[in-house]
Amino acid sequence: MCGVIGICGEQEVVNELIAGLSALQHRGQDAAGIITCSKRFNIKKGNGLVHNVFKSKNVARLQGKLGIGHVRYPTVGGGDLVDAQPFFLNSPLGIAMAHNGNVTNFWELKEELFKKNFRHINSNCDAEAILNVFADELSKQDLAKFGPETVFKTVKGVYRRVKGSYATLALIPDRGLVAFRDPHGIKPLVFGKKGNNYMFASESVALDILGYEFIRDLKPGEAVYIEEREQFFKEGRRVYERQLVKEQHRPCIFEWVYFARPDSVMDGISVYESRIRLGYELAPEVKKQKLKPDVVVPVPDTARPAATALARRLDVPLSEGLIKNRYIGRTFIMPGQAARERSVRQKLNPIRSEIRDKKVLLVDDSIVRGTTSREIINLIRGAGAKEVYFAVSAPPLKFPCVYGIDMQTRSEFIARDRQPDKIAREINADALIYQTLDGLVKAVDPKHKFCTACFTGTYPTEVPERFFKEIERERLCVKGMHLGCES
Protein backbone atom coordinates (compact mmCIF):
# COMPACT_ATOMS: atom_id res chain seq x y z
CA MET A 1 0.00 0.00 0.00
CA CYS A 2 1.30 3.45 -0.93
CA GLY A 3 -0.13 6.90 -1.56
CA VAL A 4 0.16 9.07 -4.65
CA ILE A 5 -0.68 12.67 -5.42
CA GLY A 6 -0.32 14.82 -8.53
CA ILE A 7 -1.14 18.51 -9.02
CA CYS A 8 -1.38 20.79 -12.02
CA GLY A 9 -1.42 24.29 -10.50
CA GLU A 10 -1.29 27.91 -11.54
CA GLN A 11 1.23 28.66 -8.78
CA GLU A 12 4.03 26.65 -7.23
CA VAL A 13 2.64 23.28 -6.15
CA VAL A 14 5.24 21.99 -3.70
CA ASN A 15 3.47 23.10 -0.52
CA GLU A 16 0.21 21.52 -1.63
CA LEU A 17 2.04 18.32 -2.57
CA ILE A 18 3.63 18.12 0.88
CA ALA A 19 0.31 18.82 2.64
CA GLY A 20 -1.43 16.23 0.45
CA LEU A 21 1.24 13.63 1.16
CA SER A 22 0.87 14.31 4.89
CA ALA A 23 -2.86 13.59 4.55
CA LEU A 24 -1.90 10.29 2.89
CA GLN A 25 0.83 9.47 5.42
CA HIS A 26 -1.17 6.51 6.82
CA ARG A 27 -0.68 4.83 3.40
CA GLY A 28 3.08 4.73 3.84
CA GLN A 29 5.60 5.85 6.43
CA ASP A 30 8.70 4.24 5.00
CA ALA A 31 9.77 6.80 2.38
CA ALA A 32 8.45 9.88 0.63
CA GLY A 33 9.31 11.58 -2.65
CA ILE A 34 8.32 14.51 -4.84
CA ILE A 35 9.22 15.48 -8.40
CA THR A 36 8.21 18.89 -9.68
CA CYS A 37 8.83 20.32 -13.06
CA SER A 38 10.06 23.85 -13.86
CA LYS A 39 12.61 24.05 -16.67
CA ARG A 40 13.90 20.71 -15.37
CA PHE A 41 12.84 17.93 -13.01
CA ASN A 42 13.39 18.85 -9.36
CA ILE A 43 13.57 15.81 -7.11
CA LYS A 44 13.64 15.03 -3.44
CA LYS A 45 13.24 11.54 -1.99
CA GLY A 46 14.10 10.25 1.44
CA ASN A 47 13.37 7.55 3.99
CA GLY A 48 10.93 8.40 6.75
CA LEU A 49 7.88 10.54 7.33
CA VAL A 50 6.86 13.40 5.03
CA HIS A 51 7.77 16.13 7.53
CA ASN A 52 11.21 14.59 8.05
CA VAL A 53 11.98 14.29 4.35
CA PHE A 54 10.93 17.75 3.14
CA LYS A 55 12.80 20.57 4.84
CA SER A 56 12.66 24.25 3.87
CA LYS A 57 15.76 23.96 1.66
CA ASN A 58 14.05 21.20 -0.38
CA VAL A 59 10.87 23.22 -0.63
CA ALA A 60 12.79 26.14 -2.14
CA ARG A 61 14.35 23.82 -4.70
CA LEU A 62 11.16 21.96 -5.69
CA GLN A 63 9.92 24.66 -8.04
CA GLY A 64 7.20 24.26 -10.61
CA LYS A 65 3.49 24.34 -11.24
CA LEU A 66 3.33 20.65 -12.01
CA GLY A 67 4.34 17.90 -9.63
CA ILE A 68 3.77 14.39 -8.33
CA GLY A 69 4.46 12.81 -4.96
CA HIS A 70 4.52 9.43 -3.30
CA VAL A 71 4.58 7.88 0.18
CA ARG A 72 5.79 4.31 0.48
CA TYR A 73 4.64 1.55 2.79
CA PRO A 74 7.42 -0.70 4.06
CA THR A 75 7.65 -3.96 2.15
CA VAL A 76 10.00 -6.86 2.56
CA GLY A 77 13.00 -6.51 0.24
CA GLY A 78 11.93 -3.09 -1.04
CA GLY A 79 13.15 -0.72 1.63
CA ASP A 80 16.13 0.93 -0.08
CA LEU A 81 16.11 4.58 -1.05
CA VAL A 82 16.94 3.49 -4.58
CA ASP A 83 13.45 1.94 -4.69
CA ALA A 84 11.68 5.12 -3.51
CA GLN A 85 9.32 6.82 -5.95
CA PRO A 86 8.80 8.88 -8.09
CA PHE A 87 11.13 7.71 -10.88
CA PHE A 88 11.99 9.56 -14.05
CA LEU A 89 13.69 9.08 -17.39
CA ASN A 90 14.49 11.31 -20.34
CA SER A 91 13.67 9.38 -23.48
CA PRO A 92 11.67 9.67 -25.71
CA LEU A 93 10.48 12.63 -23.58
CA GLY A 94 11.08 13.58 -19.97
CA ILE A 95 8.65 11.46 -17.93
CA ALA A 96 8.31 11.22 -14.14
CA MET A 97 6.09 8.56 -12.60
CA ALA A 98 4.71 7.29 -9.31
CA HIS A 99 2.19 4.57 -8.64
CA ASN A 100 0.32 2.70 -5.94
CA GLY A 101 -0.06 -1.02 -6.43
CA ASN A 102 1.97 -4.00 -7.50
CA VAL A 103 2.91 -5.31 -10.92
CA THR A 104 2.54 -9.09 -10.89
CA ASN A 105 4.56 -9.67 -14.08
CA PHE A 106 7.43 -7.44 -12.90
CA TRP A 107 10.18 -10.03 -13.45
CA GLU A 108 8.86 -10.95 -16.90
CA LEU A 109 8.68 -7.25 -17.83
CA LYS A 110 12.18 -6.63 -16.50
CA GLU A 111 13.55 -9.39 -18.74
CA GLU A 112 11.46 -8.37 -21.74
CA LEU A 113 12.41 -4.68 -21.45
CA PHE A 114 16.06 -5.64 -21.34
CA LYS A 115 16.03 -8.19 -24.16
CA LYS A 116 13.65 -6.52 -26.60
CA ASN A 117 13.84 -2.82 -25.78
CA PHE A 118 17.39 -2.54 -24.36
CA ARG A 119 15.95 -0.85 -21.29
CA HIS A 120 17.52 -1.54 -17.93
CA ILE A 121 15.48 -1.61 -14.70
CA ASN A 122 17.81 -0.46 -12.01
CA SER A 123 15.68 -0.87 -8.88
CA ASN A 124 13.38 -3.46 -7.36
CA CYS A 125 10.49 -1.04 -7.71
CA ASP A 126 7.79 -1.90 -10.20
CA ALA A 127 7.09 1.80 -10.88
CA GLU A 128 10.31 1.75 -12.88
CA ALA A 129 8.93 -1.11 -14.98
CA ILE A 130 5.65 0.75 -15.67
CA LEU A 131 7.65 3.88 -16.50
CA ASN A 132 9.82 2.01 -19.01
CA VAL A 133 6.83 0.33 -20.64
CA PHE A 134 5.11 3.74 -20.83
CA ALA A 135 8.24 5.26 -22.42
CA ASP A 136 8.53 2.35 -24.84
CA GLU A 137 4.88 2.69 -25.90
CA LEU A 138 5.30 6.48 -26.20
CA SER A 139 8.31 6.03 -28.46
CA LYS A 140 6.06 4.15 -30.92
CA GLN A 141 3.85 7.28 -31.36
CA ASP A 142 4.37 10.28 -33.62
CA LEU A 143 5.64 12.73 -31.01
CA ALA A 144 5.61 15.67 -33.42
CA LYS A 145 1.81 15.43 -33.20
CA PHE A 146 1.69 14.89 -29.43
CA GLY A 147 -1.84 15.21 -28.09
CA PRO A 148 -4.52 13.29 -26.17
CA GLU A 149 -4.53 10.44 -28.71
CA THR A 150 -0.78 9.98 -28.15
CA VAL A 151 -1.43 9.66 -24.41
CA PHE A 152 -4.36 7.27 -24.76
CA LYS A 153 -2.54 4.97 -27.21
CA THR A 154 0.44 4.91 -24.85
CA VAL A 155 -1.64 4.02 -21.80
CA LYS A 156 -3.48 1.37 -23.81
CA GLY A 157 -0.09 -0.18 -24.56
CA VAL A 158 0.68 -0.16 -20.83
CA TYR A 159 -2.62 -1.93 -20.11
CA ARG A 160 -1.73 -4.58 -22.68
CA ARG A 161 1.65 -5.34 -21.14
CA VAL A 162 1.48 -4.57 -17.41
CA LYS A 163 -0.47 -6.96 -15.13
CA GLY A 164 -1.57 -6.39 -11.57
CA SER A 165 -2.69 -3.24 -9.79
CA TYR A 166 -1.41 0.25 -10.52
CA ALA A 167 -2.99 3.63 -9.83
CA THR A 168 -0.43 5.70 -11.71
CA LEU A 169 0.54 9.34 -12.23
CA ALA A 170 2.86 10.41 -15.05
CA LEU A 171 4.24 13.92 -15.42
CA ILE A 172 5.48 15.01 -18.85
CA PRO A 173 7.06 18.50 -18.95
CA ASP A 174 5.30 20.95 -21.27
CA ARG A 175 2.71 18.25 -22.03
CA GLY A 176 0.89 17.75 -18.75
CA LEU A 177 -0.21 15.24 -16.18
CA VAL A 178 -1.57 11.78 -16.97
CA ALA A 179 -3.45 9.65 -14.43
CA PHE A 180 -4.55 6.08 -15.07
CA ARG A 181 -6.08 3.32 -13.00
CA ASP A 182 -5.38 -0.35 -13.68
CA PRO A 183 -7.92 -2.31 -15.79
CA HIS A 184 -9.71 -3.69 -12.70
CA GLY A 185 -9.42 -0.47 -10.68
CA ILE A 186 -7.98 -2.44 -7.75
CA LYS A 187 -6.23 0.59 -6.29
CA PRO A 188 -8.09 3.85 -5.64
CA LEU A 189 -7.54 7.13 -7.47
CA VAL A 190 -9.65 10.29 -7.20
CA PHE A 191 -9.74 13.46 -9.21
CA GLY A 192 -10.55 17.01 -8.04
CA LYS A 193 -10.50 20.66 -9.10
CA LYS A 194 -9.92 24.07 -7.51
CA GLY A 195 -10.31 26.93 -9.98
CA ASN A 196 -7.97 26.10 -12.82
CA ASN A 197 -5.95 23.65 -10.69
CA TYR A 198 -6.38 19.87 -10.87
CA MET A 199 -5.39 17.21 -8.41
CA PHE A 200 -5.25 13.41 -8.42
CA ALA A 201 -4.81 11.50 -5.17
CA SER A 202 -5.15 8.05 -3.68
CA GLU A 203 -7.87 9.23 -1.30
CA SER A 204 -10.47 11.99 -1.20
CA VAL A 205 -9.09 13.22 2.14
CA ALA A 206 -6.18 14.86 0.26
CA LEU A 207 -8.67 16.86 -1.84
CA ASP A 208 -10.65 17.86 1.27
CA ILE A 209 -7.77 19.27 3.25
CA LEU A 210 -6.50 21.31 0.28
CA GLY A 211 -9.93 22.72 -0.58
CA TYR A 212 -10.29 20.89 -3.90
CA GLU A 213 -13.74 19.98 -5.08
CA PHE A 214 -14.15 16.24 -5.61
CA ILE A 215 -14.93 15.50 -9.27
CA ARG A 216 -15.01 11.70 -9.24
CA ASP A 217 -13.08 8.45 -8.88
CA LEU A 218 -11.25 7.31 -12.00
CA LYS A 219 -12.94 4.33 -13.58
CA PRO A 220 -11.09 1.03 -13.95
CA GLY A 221 -9.00 1.10 -17.12
CA GLU A 222 -9.44 4.86 -17.48
CA ALA A 223 -6.85 7.53 -18.28
CA VAL A 224 -7.29 11.24 -17.62
CA TYR A 225 -4.93 13.70 -19.30
CA ILE A 226 -4.63 17.31 -18.09
CA GLU A 227 -2.99 19.18 -20.93
CA GLU A 228 -0.36 21.69 -19.82
CA ARG A 229 0.21 24.04 -22.74
CA GLU A 230 0.65 27.69 -21.94
CA GLN A 231 -1.38 28.80 -24.98
CA PHE A 232 -4.51 27.17 -23.47
CA PHE A 233 -4.21 28.67 -19.98
CA LYS A 234 -6.46 31.66 -20.57
CA GLU A 235 -9.42 29.52 -21.53
CA GLY A 236 -8.72 27.03 -18.72
CA ARG A 237 -6.82 23.80 -18.81
CA ARG A 238 -8.02 21.13 -21.20
CA VAL A 239 -8.98 17.83 -19.64
CA TYR A 240 -9.32 14.62 -21.67
CA GLU A 241 -10.90 11.51 -20.15
CA ARG A 242 -11.24 8.07 -21.68
CA GLN A 243 -11.94 4.56 -20.44
CA LEU A 244 -9.55 2.51 -22.55
CA VAL A 245 -10.40 -1.03 -21.44
CA LYS A 246 -13.53 -2.40 -19.83
CA GLU A 247 -12.82 -5.09 -17.30
CA GLN A 248 -14.91 -5.76 -14.20
CA HIS A 249 -14.27 -3.22 -11.45
CA ARG A 250 -12.68 -5.07 -8.49
CA PRO A 251 -11.53 -2.52 -5.90
CA CYS A 252 -9.57 -3.81 -2.89
CA ILE A 253 -12.12 -4.38 -0.10
CA PHE A 254 -9.39 -4.09 2.52
CA GLU A 255 -9.24 -0.33 1.87
CA TRP A 256 -12.56 -0.03 3.73
CA VAL A 257 -11.54 -2.40 6.51
CA TYR A 258 -8.08 -1.15 7.30
CA PHE A 259 -6.04 0.93 4.87
CA ALA A 260 -7.96 4.09 4.06
CA ARG A 261 -8.58 7.00 6.38
CA PRO A 262 -12.09 6.89 7.86
CA ASP A 263 -12.81 10.39 6.51
CA SER A 264 -12.22 9.26 2.91
CA VAL A 265 -14.89 8.22 0.44
CA MET A 266 -13.75 5.72 -2.19
CA ASP A 267 -15.68 4.63 -5.24
CA GLY A 268 -18.71 6.35 -3.71
CA ILE A 269 -18.51 4.40 -0.42
CA SER A 270 -17.71 6.10 2.88
CA VAL A 271 -14.90 4.36 4.76
CA TYR A 272 -16.25 5.41 8.17
CA GLU A 273 -19.79 4.25 7.44
CA SER A 274 -18.46 0.91 6.15
CA ARG A 275 -16.55 0.39 9.39
CA ILE A 276 -19.66 1.18 11.42
CA ARG A 277 -21.59 -1.41 9.39
CA LEU A 278 -18.77 -3.93 9.93
CA GLY A 279 -19.47 -3.61 13.66
CA TYR A 280 -23.20 -4.16 13.14
CA GLU A 281 -22.46 -7.25 11.02
CA LEU A 282 -20.25 -8.66 13.80
CA ALA A 283 -22.99 -8.45 16.43
CA PRO A 284 -24.94 -11.59 15.38
CA GLU A 285 -21.66 -13.56 15.28
CA VAL A 286 -20.96 -12.57 18.90
CA LYS A 287 -24.53 -13.47 19.90
CA LYS A 288 -24.23 -16.89 18.23
CA GLN A 289 -21.44 -17.72 20.68
CA LYS A 290 -23.70 -16.63 23.61
CA LEU A 291 -20.99 -14.34 24.98
CA LYS A 292 -21.88 -11.77 27.63
CA PRO A 293 -19.03 -9.22 27.69
CA ASP A 294 -18.98 -6.47 30.33
CA VAL A 295 -17.12 -4.04 28.08
CA VAL A 296 -16.14 -3.61 24.40
CA VAL A 297 -12.60 -2.29 23.84
CA PRO A 298 -11.30 -1.26 20.39
CA VAL A 299 -7.72 -1.98 19.41
CA PRO A 300 -6.85 1.55 18.27
CA ASP A 301 -7.29 3.12 15.82
CA THR A 302 -8.79 1.40 12.78
CA ALA A 303 -11.22 -0.83 14.67
CA ARG A 304 -12.81 1.98 16.69
CA PRO A 305 -15.89 2.61 14.46
CA ALA A 306 -16.62 -1.14 14.27
CA ALA A 307 -16.21 -1.49 18.05
CA THR A 308 -18.53 1.49 18.62
CA ALA A 309 -21.25 -0.03 16.44
CA LEU A 310 -20.79 -3.49 17.94
CA ALA A 311 -21.08 -2.13 21.49
CA ARG A 312 -24.21 -0.20 20.49
CA ARG A 313 -25.82 -3.28 18.93
CA LEU A 314 -24.91 -5.53 21.91
CA ASP A 315 -25.96 -2.84 24.37
CA VAL A 316 -22.64 -3.15 26.18
CA PRO A 317 -20.52 -0.13 27.26
CA LEU A 318 -17.64 0.87 24.99
CA SER A 319 -14.39 1.78 26.69
CA GLU A 320 -11.06 3.12 25.47
CA GLY A 321 -9.28 0.51 27.53
CA LEU A 322 -6.20 0.49 25.29
CA ILE A 323 -4.22 3.63 24.57
CA LYS A 324 -1.93 3.88 21.59
CA ASN A 325 1.30 5.82 21.49
CA ARG A 326 0.70 7.94 18.39
CA TYR A 327 4.36 8.80 17.99
CA ILE A 328 5.48 5.30 17.08
CA GLY A 329 5.06 5.95 13.40
CA ARG A 330 5.61 2.74 11.51
CA THR A 331 5.50 -1.00 11.94
CA PHE A 332 9.17 -1.64 12.41
CA ILE A 333 11.05 -4.48 10.86
CA MET A 334 12.23 -6.04 14.04
CA PRO A 335 14.41 -9.08 14.49
CA GLY A 336 13.02 -11.78 16.71
CA GLN A 337 10.02 -12.48 18.85
CA ALA A 338 11.24 -10.51 21.88
CA ALA A 339 11.55 -7.35 19.82
CA ARG A 340 8.06 -7.84 18.39
CA GLU A 341 6.60 -8.23 21.86
CA ARG A 342 8.38 -5.07 22.97
CA SER A 343 6.97 -3.28 19.95
CA VAL A 344 3.37 -4.10 20.95
CA ARG A 345 4.13 -3.12 24.52
CA GLN A 346 5.59 0.20 23.41
CA LYS A 347 2.66 0.90 21.12
CA LEU A 348 -0.27 -0.03 23.39
CA ASN A 349 -0.93 0.42 27.09
CA PRO A 350 -4.08 -0.69 28.94
CA ILE A 351 -6.17 1.43 31.32
CA ARG A 352 -6.42 -1.06 34.15
CA SER A 353 -9.50 0.43 35.80
CA GLU A 354 -11.48 -0.19 32.58
CA ILE A 355 -10.39 -3.81 32.36
CA ARG A 356 -9.83 -5.25 35.83
CA ASP A 357 -12.28 -8.05 36.78
CA LYS A 358 -14.23 -7.61 33.53
CA LYS A 359 -15.11 -9.86 30.61
CA VAL A 360 -13.51 -7.84 27.81
CA LEU A 361 -14.52 -8.04 24.16
CA LEU A 362 -11.56 -6.72 22.15
CA VAL A 363 -12.25 -5.61 18.57
CA ASP A 364 -9.49 -5.51 15.94
CA ASP A 365 -9.49 -5.18 12.16
CA SER A 366 -7.59 -8.36 11.22
CA ILE A 367 -5.40 -11.24 12.34
CA VAL A 368 -2.41 -12.06 10.14
CA ARG A 369 0.13 -14.26 11.90
CA GLY A 370 -1.52 -14.05 15.32
CA THR A 371 1.54 -12.87 17.23
CA THR A 372 0.31 -9.29 17.67
CA SER A 373 -3.19 -10.46 18.66
CA ARG A 374 -1.72 -12.76 21.30
CA GLU A 375 0.43 -9.95 22.70
CA ILE A 376 -2.58 -7.63 22.93
CA ILE A 377 -4.68 -10.31 24.64
CA ASN A 378 -1.86 -11.01 27.11
CA LEU A 379 -1.66 -7.29 27.81
CA ILE A 380 -5.37 -7.23 28.65
CA ARG A 381 -5.06 -10.34 30.81
CA GLY A 382 -2.09 -8.74 32.58
CA ALA A 383 -4.33 -5.76 33.36
CA GLY A 384 -6.68 -8.06 35.31
CA ALA A 385 -9.39 -9.05 32.79
CA LYS A 386 -11.60 -11.96 33.92
CA GLU A 387 -12.07 -13.23 30.35
CA VAL A 388 -10.91 -11.93 26.95
CA TYR A 389 -12.89 -12.40 23.74
CA PHE A 390 -11.40 -11.30 20.42
CA ALA A 391 -13.65 -10.06 17.59
CA VAL A 392 -12.22 -9.33 14.15
CA SER A 393 -14.01 -7.03 11.72
CA ALA A 394 -12.59 -8.95 8.72
CA PRO A 395 -12.89 -12.66 7.87
CA PRO A 396 -9.87 -14.99 8.27
CA LEU A 397 -6.91 -13.86 6.14
CA LYS A 398 -5.54 -16.91 4.34
CA PHE A 399 -3.90 -15.84 1.09
CA PRO A 400 -1.15 -13.33 0.29
CA CYS A 401 -2.02 -10.08 -1.38
CA VAL A 402 -0.28 -9.78 -4.73
CA TYR A 403 -1.48 -6.22 -5.33
CA GLY A 404 0.81 -4.25 -3.08
CA ILE A 405 -0.03 -5.16 0.48
CA ASP A 406 2.88 -6.70 2.31
CA MET A 407 1.31 -9.71 4.00
CA GLN A 408 2.65 -13.11 4.84
CA THR A 409 3.72 -15.93 2.56
CA ARG A 410 1.19 -18.67 2.00
CA SER A 411 2.34 -20.77 4.94
CA GLU A 412 2.49 -18.02 7.56
CA PHE A 413 -1.19 -17.03 7.93
CA ILE A 414 -2.50 -18.36 11.21
CA ALA A 415 -5.91 -19.06 9.62
CA ARG A 416 -4.45 -20.85 6.62
CA ASP A 417 -4.81 -24.33 8.11
CA ARG A 418 -6.53 -23.78 11.46
CA GLN A 419 -10.13 -23.47 12.57
CA PRO A 420 -11.17 -20.51 14.79
CA ASP A 421 -11.23 -22.59 18.02
CA LYS A 422 -7.60 -23.60 17.47
CA ILE A 423 -6.63 -20.02 16.60
CA ALA A 424 -8.41 -18.84 19.78
CA ARG A 425 -6.23 -21.19 21.85
CA GLU A 426 -3.06 -20.06 20.06
CA ILE A 427 -3.74 -16.38 20.61
CA ASN A 428 -4.85 -17.08 24.21
CA ALA A 429 -8.44 -15.83 23.72
CA ASP A 430 -11.44 -17.29 25.57
CA ALA A 431 -13.44 -16.87 22.36
CA LEU A 432 -12.70 -15.72 18.81
CA ILE A 433 -15.31 -14.12 16.58
CA TYR A 434 -14.58 -13.54 12.91
CA GLN A 435 -16.57 -11.46 10.43
CA THR A 436 -18.12 -13.56 7.68
CA LEU A 437 -17.28 -12.87 4.04
CA ASP A 438 -20.96 -12.10 3.38
CA GLY A 439 -20.98 -9.73 6.35
CA LEU A 440 -17.89 -7.97 5.03
CA VAL A 441 -19.30 -7.43 1.54
CA LYS A 442 -22.72 -6.45 2.93
CA ALA A 443 -21.08 -3.90 5.23
CA VAL A 444 -19.01 -2.26 2.50
CA ASP A 445 -21.44 -2.43 -0.42
CA PRO A 446 -23.30 -5.53 -1.61
CA LYS A 447 -23.78 -3.94 -5.06
CA HIS A 448 -20.04 -3.87 -5.74
CA LYS A 449 -17.83 -6.75 -6.86
CA PHE A 450 -14.61 -6.40 -4.86
CA CYS A 451 -11.21 -8.00 -4.78
CA THR A 452 -11.45 -10.32 -1.74
CA ALA A 453 -8.52 -12.51 -2.75
CA CYS A 454 -6.73 -12.47 0.61
CA PHE A 455 -9.82 -14.15 2.12
CA THR A 456 -10.83 -16.40 -0.78
CA GLY A 457 -7.72 -17.01 -2.89
CA THR A 458 -9.60 -15.89 -6.02
CA TYR A 459 -7.51 -13.15 -7.63
CA PRO A 460 -9.13 -10.80 -10.14
CA THR A 461 -6.09 -11.01 -12.43
CA GLU A 462 -3.91 -13.84 -13.59
CA VAL A 463 -0.98 -14.25 -11.17
CA PRO A 464 2.12 -16.11 -12.39
CA GLU A 465 3.19 -18.85 -9.93
CA ARG A 466 6.66 -17.33 -10.22
CA PHE A 467 5.31 -14.26 -8.47
CA PHE A 468 4.36 -16.20 -5.30
CA LYS A 469 7.74 -17.95 -5.36
CA GLU A 470 9.57 -14.61 -5.60
CA ILE A 471 7.60 -13.22 -2.63
CA GLU A 472 8.40 -16.34 -0.62
CA ARG A 473 12.06 -16.18 -1.60
CA GLU A 474 12.30 -12.56 -0.49
CA ARG A 475 10.56 -13.38 2.77
CA LEU A 476 12.91 -16.24 3.47
CA CYS A 477 15.79 -13.75 3.23
CA VAL A 478 14.32 -11.73 6.06
CA LYS A 479 12.36 -14.45 7.87
CA GLY A 480 11.65 -13.65 11.47
CA MET A 481 12.37 -9.98 10.92
CA HIS A 482 9.07 -8.50 9.93
CA LEU A 483 5.79 -7.77 11.59
CA GLY A 484 3.72 -7.93 8.41
CA CYS A 485 0.71 -5.64 8.33
CA GLU A 486 -0.65 -6.53 11.73
CA SER A 487 -1.79 -3.46 13.58
Binding of ligand SF4 by 405 (CB under 6 A): yes
Q: Using CB under 6 A, pick the residue from 41, 403, 413, 434 that binds ligand SF4.
A: 403
User: Which of 134/258 has CB closer to ligand SF4?
Assistant: 258
Binding of ligand SF4 by 73 (CB under 6 A): no
User: Which of 125/454 has CB closer to ligand SF4?
Assistant: 454
User: Which of 244/405 has CB closer to ligand SF4?
Assistant: 405
Minimum CB–partner distance for residue 156 and ligand SF4 (Å): 23
Question: Interface with ligand SF4 by CB under 6 A: which range of 49-57, 123-131, 250-258, 428-436?
Answer: 250-258
Instruction: Write phi, then psi, for 177 (nearest 5 degrees).
Output: -120, 130
Binding of ligand SF4 by 252 (CB under 6 A): yes
Minimum CB–partner distance for residue 257 and ligand SF4 (Å): 9
Binding of ligand SF4 by 454 (CB under 6 A): yes
Q: Using CB under 6 A, pick the residue from 152, 166, 225, 254 that binds ligand SF4.
A: 254
Q: Using CB under 6 A, pick the residue from 158, 414, 451, 483 that binds ligand SF4.
A: 451
User: Which of 163/237 has CB closer to ligand SF4?
Assistant: 163
Please count the residues of this chain forming the interface with ligand SF4, following the rule CB under 6 A: 11
Nearest in space to 96 (alpha carbons), one of 169, 17, 165, 205: 169
Which residues participate in catalysis according to the annotation?
2
Minimum CB–partner distance for residue 298 and ligand SF4 (Å): 21
Q: Using CB under 6 A, pick the residue from 29, 319, 452, 487 that binds ligand SF4.
A: 452
The type of residue at 317 is P
Question: Interface with ligand SF4 by CB under 6 A: which range of 208-216, 246-254, 321-329, 346-354?
Answer: 246-254
User: Which of 166/200 has CB closer to ligand SF4?
Assistant: 166
Binding residues for ligand SF4, rule: CB under 6 A, are: 186, 252-254, 401, 403, 405, 451-454
